[in-house]
Amino acid sequence: MNISIERVGKRFRREWIFRDVALTLEKGQSYTFVGPNGSGKSTLLQVLSGAIPATEGEIIYQLNGKKLDIDSWYQHIVIAAPYLELIEELTLTELLTFHQSFKPFKDGLTPHQLTELMFLDHARHKEIKAFSSGMKQRVKLGLAFCSEASVVILDEPTSNLDRQGVSWYQEQVRKLTTPILLIGSNQPDEYDFCPNIVDITRWK
């Protein structure tokens, strides 16, 4: 999987959030987008995922040399972000089973094994609405780390995590060697392993 970003811009009303973004994102590489709060990091990640449309320019997903239709991007992407909601009426086991039905886990991982990996085995029969914000973030990250996907997007990945959760994140994120990894962050300990740091203010 490769992603080509060609002169992409996003405007809300009359304000350009960013403009003329031009990058090539390659398989096996990690990229962190940095910039002040409100600079557009989250918006750019959402545009790159296809969740919101670009105002101008083009984003091209290529798999094995073939251009993918935008309607199929979601099949290759997994996202963890504080603003994304989980289905709170489901128990953790039900949520993982539901997720697995449309996006399989790596290496034949089972929902039970994933709860253990996230250190949430004690809560596997609890409804998500009873989880703390830190537990919910760990679920989002666990799904991102362990789903079969060519593109992994992590926006403010350690939001709401305690010290143990941050250490767990740092251990797991370093194991992502195959996909394109995109991070939106202002916290150096979230991306200190990342060789490609991109300051979004260059496109303001």
The amino acid occupying position 109 is: L
Distant-in-sequence, close-in-space partners of 83: CB < 8 Å, separation ≥ 6: 42, 155
Exposure on the CB side of residue 147, measured as CA atoms within 13 A: 26
Name residue, tokens 């790159």: 48
Per-residue pLDDT at 177? 85
- Compute the radius of gyration of the chain from its Cα atoms: 17
Which regions of 74-201 does DSSP assign to beta strands (E)? 77-80, 151-155, 180-184, 196-199
**Distance separating alpha carbons of residues 193 and 32, to the nearest angstrom:** 10
In a 3-state reduction of DSSP, which class is residue 6? strand
The dihedral through the CA atoms of 133, 84, 43, 25 has a sign that is positive
pLDDT score of 30: 97
Residue-wise pLDDT tens digits, 117-162: 999 999 999 999 999 999 999 999 999 999 999 999 999 999 999 9
DSSP of 168-204, one letter per residue?
HHHHHHTT--SSEEEEE-S-HHHHTT-SEEEEGGGG-
CB atoms closer than 10 angstroms to residue 29: 16
CA distance 46 to 172: 23
Task: Give residue-wise pLDDT tens across range 80-115.
Answer: 999 999 999 999 999 999 999 999 999 999 999 999
Domains of the chain: 2-203 (3.40.50.300)
Copy the structure tokens of residue 171. 């251990």
Q: Are the C-beta atoms of 166 and 138 separated by less than 8 Å?
A: no
Cα separation, 156 vs 82, whole angstroms: 7
Taking 90 as the threshold, does the pLDDT of residue 8 lie above it? yes
Q: Contact 87/95 with Cβ under 8 angstroms?
A: yes
pLDDT tier, 23 (very low <50, low <70, confident <90, very high otherwise): very high
